[in-house]
Structure 1
Amino acid sequence: MTSPADTLAQPSVAVIGAGPAGLAAAVHAAEQGAATTLIDSAARLGGQYWRHDKAVLDGSVATSLRSSLVPRSMLAQPSGLHHDVATYHDLLRRLEDLVAARRLTVHLEHHVWSLQVEQSGCSIAAVDRRDPDRPGELRVRAAVVVLAVGAYDRQVPFPGWDLPGVLTVGGAQALLKGSGVTVGPRVLVAGTGPFLLPVATALAASGADVLGVHEANRNLGWLRRLPAAAPRPATLREAGGYALGLARHRIPLRTRSVVVAAHGADRLEAVTVARLDRAGGVRDRTRRRIAVDVLAVGYGFTTQSELPLQAGCALSATADGTLAVTTDSTQQTSDPRVYAAGETTGVGGAQLAVAEGVIAGFYAARAAGQCAVGQTTAAPARPDRVVETAIRTRDRLRRFAAAMHAVYPVPRFWLDTLEHDTVVCRCEEVTVAEVDAAIDNGARDARSVKLLSRSGMGWCQGRVCGYAISCLTASRTGQALDLASSANRPVAAPIPLGLLAQAPADRHGQDS
């Protein structure tokens, strides 16, 4: 199934990312006749949405899938952890057939660190992490690439957010899905967005005492956007199910309520919560302290933009305050050799990601076929019924996603709760005072702040702190918010220096 390290494969279509969008894109591209390669950094298919334990996909995809198409662990885990398992089941069954027919190759535990797009094709370099003691490199060249690299939890800093026991809601869910680990006995869930609800109910079902869900916005905002929500009765039913779950476990839902500080010596011991006024400011008289063991907090998601930026794809700011790849009706980016699907085009949920993956896989395969016969521009392809249905689904779900982002914006309160010694960059331990000093010394954008304070220069390369640094800099200087300067990373994933030294300079278009 997988090529050995340092082997050059030559597919027509390469799909990067094996979550809902990537799985759908790879299956549909291969079914259209394109020789397809699917690459993902995780050990198992499914991404965060269909994350499951290691009981499945150990070694050959085909061998593992024959024994367990849908892991029993996925069905046995608490309600709320796994949704739309039937779609996952269907995609894996089709993927197994395509792997067996040698029309689809899957590389798991391969982290793509470089993507170069040229007129002659796309060059991909990935670190092979299957043997952590001896990492290797996979090099792939494809006519067309589909980017389905997803998104990750967006965090905003507040006093004490770097204490052990404070983690993202996505992290809490990943531990429960992937390892069956409940993060702690007493948990408080906070932030904004509908993602808080499934995490809270799943934690409660696993045995945790969930002390409350603190939602920064008002759920009544949906009333003004019912036309967008109406086409999604399934989502409304799902929300009703979460409401019943909260009631069953006696979990209070506090709206317009946020965590403004976390307290503890060596680890989290308590949090301070407060209500927000209509302008998004903290109502000081409403502050109260709650003893907790774990705080799971999240303010939406940030798209993975490193590879799109490497490929030169056009990006734009979205309504929820992140960067997203700009695509046309066929999911093609500003570069005709690159397509994109899923959260990398804007956060909208797994069903939207699958629909976009179907469309991207179909048109990427057609574009690869045109490249094979030497045509630089693909003739318009007439979609089949499956793709036509996916297009209608995509357009409807995008309207719903736009309404969701309008209901759950990131409030600006956190900028007022920061103290001088609050850490904003955890990797380099850069504080608010050091960011202010950089601004006092002339920095006017996040990149300048980075150069003067080392914020964003640590292990995560600004993935965690980039949004906060950009917002803090814009707030302090009065400049427009610039998200791109903290998102551009020439190396998309950590790579051993030995492998980097071996990389041919002409393959990556620059001196290694």
Structure 2
Amino acid sequence: MTERPRLAVIGAGPAGLAAALAAAARGVDVTLVDSARDAGGQFYRRPEPGLEAHRSGAPRQHQRSWRRLARGLAAYQRTGAITFLRDHHVWLVERAVPGGTGSRPRSFRVHALLGPGQEESVAVRADAVMLATGGYEKVLPFPGWTLPGVATAGGAQAMLKGALVVPGRTAVVAGTGPLLLPVATGLAAAGVGVAALVESAGPGAFARRARALAAQPAKLAEGAGHAARLLRHRTPLLTRHTVVEAHGTDRLAAVTVAALDADGHVRSGSGRRILCDTLAVGHGMLPHTDLAEALGCRCDATRVHVDDEQRTDVPGVWAAGEGTGIGGAALALAEGHIAGRSAAARLTGREPDPRLWRAAAKSRTAQREFFAALDSVCAPPAHWPDLVTDDTVVCRCEEVTGGAIREAVDGLGAGDVRTVKLLTRAGMGWCQGRMCGPAVAGLAGCELTPSRASFARPVPLGVLARAGEPGEAT
């Protein structure tokens, strides 16, 4: 018998699950790799198994899609069409066989660290790779942001979904973007007093894009539902406001918020102090492009570039979900479905017929247009770097301050993130600039560019020494 083609799908969130199911249904053996202990990603995150609460943490209206994905994954695992490698942290995807002609996919080897200790590695062979690596939150510093009690909005949500714990008794949710509403309502529903929801965008910005936003009535209804629940909890909403400073000694005790003018500057004398022990702050999302960059795929600071079939410009590599542009679960599902069907067709020697995924392509277009409009509205304040004092820590790994970065730019002539990194060590720590990169770029007044790091995560030297030894998982 001829061996069936093999597809490695990296990431088991909405995009990865949709792609894995679509490819497995069309005669492809799929290896699904994810760093979590269960499938679903952040959107479908469920409580830890020991808590014996098995409902998905996704909003109620999305429970049906989760059940469909979960049933499909379980069914294909039973038949062997999908192998799910959980708790596997991918650190490198390499093209195992250079060359190749025409549209024939090249061979790949996916390297992943195992478990919490991450001291061992396995390699998965595949004929093609689908990158569904998701996104992460954009972190912008301000005085006091390193105090215990300050968390990202997504971090607070993960605590609620995965551990069923609340980060404190009284919270302020601040920043900008669609994630703030579900975080605030989730905290309020869990018994946390939400002292304020602070959004830097104003009603006028939403009104100016009303036509584009109204094209997705289900999204608007979802947002309206969150707003109604916050109204029932009597949560104050402060639009055109931003967090200026977090206060406390051993931990967070209060935050100061202030109004913004039309140009994004803080209005003088508008500051108000709000007592709280938790600040959940977020300023949007960024794509995980590390693996795509290492493979040589065309990327920029906002996405991996793909064609209508979700193919990158590297033969044999597809990408879908937040990595190709932040757009939420519905867009990720549509892109994953298209990528899975396209990869299956190419791997089995058939020419893909776009009519087979017409509905998914229509949904993809509509969702992309909606989130492009939303992204233009929910932008961080234009002059947020002005709030970063010289003694504010910007790079937490290396404890580099705003003053050090300004000295590198103004005193030493640094004009890009790489030069600032060489002069200050900002971005040389454990996260390799993934967290502080946007802040460094903002303070330096330059664009955030792809880093093209060799590895997607820190790797023990022992793993690198054994990388050439046998150890393939499939």
Normalization by structure 2: what TM-score? 0.93
Shift of 1:11: 5.8
Residues 1:43 and 2:29 aligned together: no
1:214-225 aligned at under 5 Å gives the runs 214-225=198-209
1:462-473 aligned at under 5 Å gives the runs 462-473=433-444
Is the Cα contact below 8 Å between 2:406 and 2:443 reproduced in 1?
no
Q: Which amino acid aligns with 2:108?
A: C
Is the Cα contact below 8 Å between 2:5 and 2:347 reproduced in 1?
no
Residues 1:481 and 2:447 aligned together: yes
- Cα distance in 1, alignment partners of residues 4 and 138 from structure 2: 36
Q: Which amino acid aligns with 2:115?
A: R
Shift of 1:229: 2.2
- Cα distance in 1, alignment partners of residues 286 and 68 from structure 2: 28
Residues 1:203 and 2:167 aligned together: no
Match of 1:307 among 288, 291, 297: 291
Match of 2:324 among 330, 339, 345: 345
Match of 2:345 among 363, 366, 386: 366
Other-structure match for 1:20: 14
Shift of 1:369: 2.1
Shift of 1:222: 2.8
- Cα distance in 1, alignment partners of residues 146 and 178 from structure 2: 24
Other-structure match for 1:111: 89
Match of 1:418 among 388, 403, 416: 388
Q: Which runs of 5+ in 1 are unaligned?
A: 1-8, 59-70, 317-321, 371-378, 475-479, 508-512
- Cα distance in 1, alignment partners of residues 71 and 61 from structure 2: 17
Q: Which amino acid aligns with 1:255?
A: T
Further displaced range: 326-335 or 497-506:
497-506
Shift of 1:81: 5.0
Residues 1:502 and 2:473 aligned together: no
Residues 1:381 and 2:362 aligned together: no
- Cα distance in 2, alignment partners of residues 367 and 413 from structure 1: 47
Other-structure match for 1:457: 428
Q: Percent identity?
A: 45
Is the Cα contact below 8 Å between 1:191 and 1:297 reproduced in 2?
yes
Q: What per-residue deviation string (whole Å, max 9, x for no partner) do you get for residues 21-74 of structure 1?
A: 111111111111111110001111100001111228x9xxxxxxxxxxxx8542
Shift of 1:482: 3.5
Q: Which amino acid aligns with 2:391?
A: D
Q: What per-residue deviation string (whole Å, max 9, x for no partner) do you get for residues 53-106 of structure 1?
A: 1228x9xxxxxxxxxxxx85426x7xx755501111101111111111111111
Residues 1:294 and 2:272 aligned together: no
Q: Which amino acid aligns with 1:332?
A: R
Q: What per-residue deviation string (whole Å, max 9, x for no partner) do you get for residues 407-448 of structure 1?
A: 111222321111110110011110011112322223221111
Indicate the RMSD between aligned Cα atoms, in angstroms.
2.1
Q: Which amino acid aligns with 1:113?
A: W
1:72-221 aligned at under 5 Å gives the runs 72-74=53-55, 83-117=61-95, 118-119=98-99, 120-129=106-115, 132=117, 135-221=119-205
- Cα distance in 2, alignment partners of residues 346 and 177 from structure 1: 24
Other-structure match for 1:430: 400
Residues 1:409 and 2:386 aligned together: no
- Cα distance in 1, alignment partners of residues 147 and 315 from structure 2: 45
Q: Which amino acid aligns with 1:470?
A: A
Q: Which runs of 5+ in 2 are unaligned?
A: 100-105
Further displaced range: 216-225 or 42-51:
216-225
- Cα distance in 2, alignment partners of residues 494 and 230 from structure 1: 43
Q: CA 1:73 to 1:248, structure 2 compared with 1: closer, same or farther past 3 Å?
A: farther
- Cα distance in 2, alignment partners of residues 283 and 219 from structure 1: 18
Q: Which amino acid aligns with 1:451?
A: L
Is the Cα contact below 8 Å between 1:10 and 1:142 reproduced in 2?
no
- Cα distance in 2, alignment partners of residues 329 and 128 from structure 1: 34
Shift of 1:166: 0.6
Other-structure match for 2:269: 285
Match of 1:394 among 358, 364, 384: 364
- Cα distance in 2, alignment partners of residues 229 and 406 from structure 1: 11
Shift of 1:129: 1.2
Q: Which amino acid aligns with 2:259?
A: R
Match of 1:269 among 253, 259, 268: 253
Q: What per-residue deviation string (whole Å, max 9, x for no partner) do you get for residues 127-183 of structure 1?
A: 0116x3x73211012111110000011110111111111110000000000000111
Is the Cα contact below 8 Å between 1:216 and 1:258 reproduced in 2?
yes
- Cα distance in 2, alignment partners of residues 220 and 84 from structure 1: 30
Other-structure match for 1:325: 304
Further displaced range: 191-200 or 223-232:
223-232
Q: Which amino acid aligns with 1:396?
A: A
Q: Which amino acid aligns with 2:55?
A: M
Is the Cα contact below 8 Å between 2:132 and 2:321 reproduced in 1?
yes
Is the Cα contact below 8 Å between 1:450 and 1:456 reproduced in 2?
yes
Further displaced range: 149-158 or 229-238:
229-238
Further displaced range: 220-229 or 408-417:
220-229
Q: Give the secondary structure class of the aligned counterpart of 1:14.
A: strand
Is the Cα contact below 8 Å between 2:264 and 2:382 reproduced in 1?
yes
Is the Cα contact below 8 Å between 2:171 and 2:279 reproduced in 1?
yes
- Cα distance in 2, alignment partners of residues 204 and 355 from structure 1: 31
Shift of 1:228: 2.1
- Cα distance in 1, alignment partners of residues 48 and 272 from structure 2: 41
- Cα distance in 2, alignment partners of residues 252 and 172 from structure 1: 19
Is the Cα contact below 8 Å between 1:81 and 1:202 reproduced in 2?
no
